[in-house]
Amino acid sequence: MTRSAQSQRPEASLPPAAEHPFLLACRREESPFTPVWLMRQAGRYLPEYRRVRERLSFLELCGRSDLAAEVTVTAAERLGVDAAIIFADILLPLVPMGVGLRYEKGDGPRIEQPIRMAADVDRLTPVSVEESLAFVAETVRLSRAGLNGKVPLIGFAGAPFTVASYLIEGGSSRMHVTTKVLMQRDALTWQRLMERIVDVTADYLNMQIAAGVDAVQLFDSWVGCLSPRDYQRHVLPYTKRLISALRPGVPVIHFGTMTGSLLELMRDAGGDVVGLDWRVEIDEAWQRLGPEVGVQGNLDPALLFADAAEIRRAVREMLARAGSRPGYIANLGHGVLPETPVDNVLAFVDAVHEYGRR
């Protein structure tokens, strides 16, 4: 696919960092066009990423700051998006906790020593992120240098509930039954675990901010399994405490999946932008959230397997629902799927830039 000059991101002289359209949108200020970036931006769908992964495991690549920065910058440049996101993983803070995190091909992360009772929380190793996760800060610094001010850089971490669910379930889960049972039956152990996660995550994100990220995203990928009542009681206080502990002035995007029933509570937990998955309509969600937050999302990643005409139609509809109000960031409703054709990803980005001009 040849990308036309009309459809690519405008390349006028670089604005001051704070005036990039992505950061303007985070602050709900007017921008010249709708900014767009992608979750799982550097991933298996990109041949450049696959070539790097052929030599290293996932965790090894995360630990190689030079290569993690390379795939961060390469993905942003290849796609012509309006923000880069560091290559890392939401579970990296678990490595120094001593729970035996490993990644199994095809099965995702596994925790060798899951948390099931108070004694398991007691044995968690205290974490100094400046020492044990310094490689992530170096990835931020190298990525920022490689981007050379062309686009902002996003840091990220897992939200407390999602990280806790991995720790308790021992890996991915559909129903999160073990997590819910501990949450309901042993409130004190739940509280202690969540407080440990909040403290480490706050340090982790503040380290990324100090290293140079322009914004951060909090991924609460599994919180949609909860009822509003359980979220309000068992999650909201901890997420709110985490966001409040972050360095002021750096935008926070608060993202979750299957959270249509939780949007107002997520807004109350904090953040400048609420990330939506594809199960809610942008205009309806934004009306519920109110004018004090921006909105990000939310095309179904599966639609990127359609042809270019259908992708363009879906983008026009998505942008129409967002309207012209400031504070909108285009994205998918979750990460790019591994088998997605690169040309279709480019078609999505180009369509946002073409139809999102103001």
pLDDT at residue 104, rounded to an integer: 77
**3-state helix/strand/coil string of 83-126:** CEECCCCCCHHHHHHCCCEEEECCCEEEECCCCCCHHHHHCCCC
Number of domains in the chain: 1
**Domain range holding 117?**
47-288
62, 89 Cβ separation under 8 angstroms: yes
Q: Could you tell me the CATH number of the domain that includes residue 160?
A: 3.20.20.210
225 within a domain of the structure (yes/no)? yes
Residue 309, classed as helix, strand or coil, is helix
Render pLDDT for 250-285 as a digit per residue (tens, 0 to 9). Answer: 999 999 999 999 999 999 999 999 999 999 999 999
Query: Contact at 8 Å (CB) between 163 and 94?
Result: yes
Marked catalytic residue, from 166, 204, 238, 355: 166
In a domain, 246, yes or no: yes
53 is an active site residue: yes
Contact of 295 with 271, CB cutoff 8 Å? no
- Which residue, chain included where needed, has tokens 């579970």? 91
* Active-site choice (3, 53, 241, 321): 53
Contact between 326 and 31 under an 8 Å Cβ cutoff? The reply is: yes
Residue 59: exposed, middle, or buried by beta-carbon count in 10 A (0-12, 13-18, 19+)?
A: middle
**pLDDT reported for residue 13:** 52
Contact call for residues 333 and 298 (beta carbons, < 8 A)? yes
At CA 71, angle to CA 319 and CA 302, rounded to 5?
Answer: 40
Is the pLDDT reported for residue 160 higher than 60?
yes
With a cut of 80, say whether residue 131 has pLDDT above it.
yes
pLDDT digits (tens, 9 = 90+) for 199-227: 999 999 999 999 999 999 999 999 999 99
Looking at every residue in the chain, the average pLDDT score rounds to 94
Q: Tell me how far apart the alpha carbons of residues 218 and 158 are, in angstroms, rounded to a whole number.
A: 6
40 included as an active-site residue? yes
User: Is 333 a member of any domain?
Assistant: no
Let me know if residue 312 belongs to a domain. Answer: no
Is 44 noted as a catalytic residue in this protein?
yes
Catalytic residue among 89, 214, 272, 350: 89
**Residue 189 belongs to some domain of the structure:** yes
Q: How far does Cα 221 stand from its chain's mean position?
A: 9
Decide if 296 contacts 273 (C-beta within 8 A).
Answer: yes
Average pLDDT on 84-111 reads 92
Give Cα 73 distance to the centre of its chain: 16
Portion of the chain with pLDDT greater than 70, in percent: 95
304 inside domain = no
Asked whether residue 135 is domain-assigned, the answer is yes
Predicted local distance difference test score (pLDDT) of residue 52? 96
Q: How confident is residue 174, by pLDDT bands cut at 50, 70 and 90?
A: confident
Does the structure show a pLDDT above 60 at 5?
no
Catalytic residue among 9, 28, 40, 312: 40
Dihedral angle of Cα 80, 274, 225, 303, to the nearest 10 degrees: -30
3-state secondary structure (DSSP) of residue 155: strand
Q: What pLDDT was estimated at residue 2?
A: 45
3-state helix, strand and coil shares in percent for the chain, rounded to the nearest 5? 50, 15, 40
Instruction: Enter the DSSP assignment of 174.
Output: S
Tell me the pLDDT band of 4, cut-offs 50, 70 and 90: very low
pLDDT in tens, 6-51: 345 655 455 667 799 999 999 999 999 999 999 999 999 999 999 9
58-94 confidence digits (pLDDT tens) = 999 999 999 999 999 999 999 999 999 999 999 999 9
144 among known catalytic residues = no
Residue 59 lies inside a defined structural domain of this protein: yes
Provide mean pLDDT across the span 168-188: 95
What is the Cα gyration radius of the chain?
A: 19
Cis before residue 298, ω within 30 degrees of 0?
Answer: yes
Q: Which pairing describes strands 101-104 and 108-111: parallel, antiparallel, or unpaired?
A: antiparallel
Which of 27, 44, 192, 321 does the annotation list as catalytic?
Answer: 44
**Residue 17 pLDDT:** 72
